[in-house]
Amino acid sequence: MKSRLLPIFLTLFFCLNFHLFAQQSLPRLAKKGTTTQLIVDDKPFIILGGELGNSTATTAENMKTVWSKLKTMNLSTVLVPVYWELIEPKEGKFDFKLYQDLILEARQNEMKLVFLWFGSWKNSMSSHAPAWVKLNQGKYPRVKDNTGRSQEILSSFSENVLQADKNAFENLMRFIKDFDSKDRTVILMQVENEIGMLPSARDYQTLANDAFYQPVPAELLQYMQNHKDQLVPEFYEIWKKNGYKTTGNWEEIFGKGLHTDEIFMAYFYADFTDKITEAGKKIYDLPMFVNAALNKAGREPGNYPSAGPLPHLMDVWKSAGKAIDFLSPDFYNPDFKHWCDLYTRQGDVLFVPEHVFDNSVAAKALYTIGHYEGLGFSPFSIESTQKPEEEPLGKMYGLIKELTPLITSHQGLGKIKGAMLSKSDQETIVRLGKYEFIVKHDYTLSWTPGARTETWPLASAIIIQTAENEFYIAGSGVVITTKSTENKDLNIGILKVDEGNFIDKQWTVKRHLNGDQTHQGRHINIGTNQFAIQRVEFYGYR
Ligand code: DGJ
């Protein structure tokens, strides 16, 4: 009798106390249709980010004036370095007080954190290694360049370096798990920072030289054979040129030259970083990524940081970096679309963890979300603004924040398009359902005051299809006309267009647009200094 009642009692107890058991899951990546979303607190999340300047978060005192700026700019997430030298000043003695304070402050300001592990490498160099590592060069060897000169760069071929870095990272993940797994303020980890070999394409110290004349690891060769049809063309061509060999050392498989030195180095950087990532995830399973300093056109590896997670080395990084969730570009270079296209060409998700904080970031943030359906965007040195309330980025983040439920529920389904326009790239065409949208820069309207100016601000828009004839269009500096993709004899008219906001997730109309605002029904327009959302219904007429 007793034993028959027990399951009933337990079920009742569990149901009544469900809230005590219902723990939200950890931040994770999840595939949705054609894209990948970051799920935080069980909901899709967009990183409206900003990365702090390198020394800003080194004391809690120095952070005091920063939070209000970030809030004013509508950030959802702050990217903050964790410096190895500060968390493990003495070997084996860890101090996480700085990061406890930071997590508490982030929670108070309703923001999430991405931690950037400044471990063995930060912008190629090992400047954030603790003194006890730097001073013990016998145990923690440095790389040597092609002249045999030591650099202030720890060698990825050293087991001691790997173990010391791994131990520190494991302790960091244990701290985050213990301190934060209930609130989940830390949502993503970047492992190391802008890895890359300088000033030569590869390491020439003894351990590295030994590895260079060993056979190429089976892991990489197998990956190349399994993905032969999907390899990035730059890498595929090198393999092809050398006869698609499947056994041999690095020079036998890829030929002699700096490109081979770089491939070799990339494999071992990826392998090292993968081991750190895997060990960290075993303790606390957050999504983890790596970032790259983009190479400048025409330069040889070693003149730029060689062997980082760059587009031409994606396959090498992916073969050795199985625990690493994605590779990300840092932008201090022009050609935003070009590089983002390269990073997404194998179907990978885009996240822009760094972009120089210039006047293009607002437009690019929206384009990252609208065109690439990316995880998010983050200008570097975000706290450097003196007028956060005037930052276009803050206004754009405000729009994306309002639109987040609409964006995330339509991602991956072919319902979202983005456009980005400049003086040299004034017009683009996107298609959604039975409509073709001709999206032009606002200054193409001859009567706008900016039309005759020398420089045009970067403009961008997102278009979200919510029903057959209904769209939400948001952004800044665009003018849009529409055609039917099905019938060239059918004219498309604007049935209704309202400007408004999502207030508590409810669409709330601010103005009904007509007259000059739609050029008497001819177009949709969001002016250059406006940041707006419009809800539009179209219809066909003959
Ligand atoms: C890229 C690095 O990742 C950042 O930490 C910073 O050094 C910027 N470059 C430049 O200031």
Please, what are the domains in the chain? Answer: 42-213+268-379 (3.20.20.80), 416-541 (2.60.220.20)
pLDDT level of residue 8 (50, 70, 90 thresholds): low
Q: What is the pLDDT of residue 24?
A: 81
How does pLDDT run across 229-270, given as a tens digit for each residue? 999 999 999 999 999 999 999 999 999 999 999 999 999 999
Asked if pLDDT for residue 1 goes beyond 50, the answer is no
Asked if pLDDT for residue 9 goes beyond 80, the answer is no
Asked if pLDDT for residue 19 goes beyond 90, the answer is no
CA of 194 to the centre of ligand 1 (A): 8
In this structure, the chain runs to a length of: 542
Residues 471, 432: contact at Cβ < 8 Å? Answer: yes
379: tokens are 């200008």
57: tokens are 């978060």
Distance CA 27, CA 48 (A): 16
* Ligand 1 pocket, residue 151 CB under 6 Å: no
Give me the mean pLDDT over the 79-93 stretch. Answer: 98
Closest CA to 261 of 294, 296, 303: 303
Q: What is the pLDDT of residue 144?
A: 98
Give 233's Cβ-side CA count (13 Å radius): 2
Ligand 1 atom closest to residue 291's alpha carbon, by position in its atom list: 3
Q: Which of 56, 79, 351, 380 to mutate to test the pocket of ligand 1 (most atoms within 8 A of CB)?
A: 380
How does pLDDT run across 494-540, given as a tens digit for each residue? 999 999 999 999 999 999 999 999 999 999 999 999 999 999 999 99
Residue 539: count of CB within 10 angstroms of its CB: 12
Q: What is the pLDDT of residue 108?
A: 97
* Ligand 1 pocket, residue 194 CB under 6 Å: yes
Give me the mean pLDDT over the 361-365 stretch. Answer: 98
* Cβ-count burial 171-201 (b if 16+ within 10 Å, e if not): bbbebbbebbeeebbbbbbbbbbbbbbbebb
Q: What is the pLDDT of residue 15?
A: 46
CA of 285 to the centre of ligand 1 (A): 26
CA of 63 to the centre of ligand 1 (A): 19
Asked if pLDDT for residue 2 goes beyond 70, the answer is no
Ligand 1 atom closest to residue 54's alpha carbon, by position in its atom list: 5
pLDDT level of residue 10 (50, 70, 90 thresholds): low
Write out 352-388 in H/E/C secondary structure: EEEECCCCCHHHHHHHHHHCCCCCEEEEECHHHCCCH
* Ligand 1 pocket, residue 328 CB under 6 Å: no
Q: Which of 193, 289, 358 to mutate to test the pocket of ligand 1 (most atoms within 8 A of CB)?
A: 193
* Closest residue CA from atom 2 of ligand 1: 123
171: tokens are 């302790």
* Ligand 1 pocket, residue 105 CB under 6 Å: no
How does pLDDT run across 405-414, given as a tens digit for each residue? 999 999 999 9
pLDDT level of residue 20 (50, 70, 90 thresholds): very low
What does the mean pLDDT of the chain come to?
Answer: 95
Give me the mean pLDDT over the 11-18 stretch. Answer: 50
How does pLDDT run across 35-55, given as a tens digit for each residue? 999 999 999 999 999 999 999
Give me the mean pLDDT over the 418-428 stretch. Answer: 98
Instruction: Check residues 134 and 20 and name the one with the higher pLDDT.
Output: 134
Q: Which segment of 6-10, 41-45, 387-391 scores lowest on mean pLDDT?
A: 6-10
Residue 14: exposure state from Cβ atoms within 10 A (0-12, 13-18, ≥19): exposed
* Ligand 1 pocket, residue 354 CB under 6 Å: yes
Give me the mean pLDDT over the 101-105 stretch. Answer: 97
Give me the mean pLDDT over the 3-18 stretch. Answer: 52
**Would you call 397 helix, strand, or coil by DSSP?**
helix
Closest CA to 339 of 327, 322, 324: 327
* Closest residue CA from atom 8 of ligand 1: 380
CA of 69 to the centre of ligand 1 (A): 20
Give me the mean pLDDT over the 416-422 stretch. Answer: 98
DSSP string, 65-87: THHHHHHHTT-SEEEEEEEHHHH
* Closest residue CA from atom 9 of ligand 1: 123
Asked if pLDDT for residue 451 goes beyond 50, the answer is yes
